[in-house]
Amino acid sequence: MELIDNVKDSIQNFIEENSKLTAAIIAIFLLLIVSGTAVLLLRGKTGTGGRSVRLPPETFTETEEFLKPEQVNLTEDYYFSRISPDNWSDAERERWFTPPDEQNMQELGKANDKIIDTILEAAP
């Protein structure tokens, strides 16, 4: 009860000391309430009432003939029937594989440490 009385007294003192500021705050608050109510009432009368507007479906009309893209004559069977070797040849390894340098390994280690820390922080 004492806390409520203290709050009530401090609010009353504020209103007495700052009467112009209090009147301005109350006027702004009332203006917001009135304008919000007016917007809701006018929107309900002139708006769509919350219903979405449906557009008629458009039909596609072709103006020019489609051009088939030029491509190598590979069929999908090629991808499934291709047998890849178990190991790369030396030429393939040099062409496709880039060994990581020390900086890349350190960055990878830091990224892994962050992931581990995140996982451990979430654990109970």
102-109 average pLDDT score: 95
Torsion, CA 93, CA 95, CA 97, CA 103, rounded to 10: 130
| Residue 105 pLDDT class (50, 70, 90 cuts) | very high
Coil/strand/helix, residue 86: coil
Phi, psi of 116 (to 5 degrees): -65, -45
- d(CA 36, CA 56) in angstroms, rounded, equals 34
Cβ atoms of residues 14 and 22 within 8 Å:
yes
- Joined tokens for residue 9: 């007294």
Give the tens place of pLDDT for each residue, 27-78. 999 999 999 999 888 876 655 555 667 888 888 888 888 877 776 666 665 5
Phi, psi of 73 (to 5 degrees): -80, 70
Give the tens place of pLDDT for each residue, 77-89. 556 666 778 888 8
More confident: 66 or 107: 107
Instruction: Determine the pLDDT at residue 72.
Output: 66
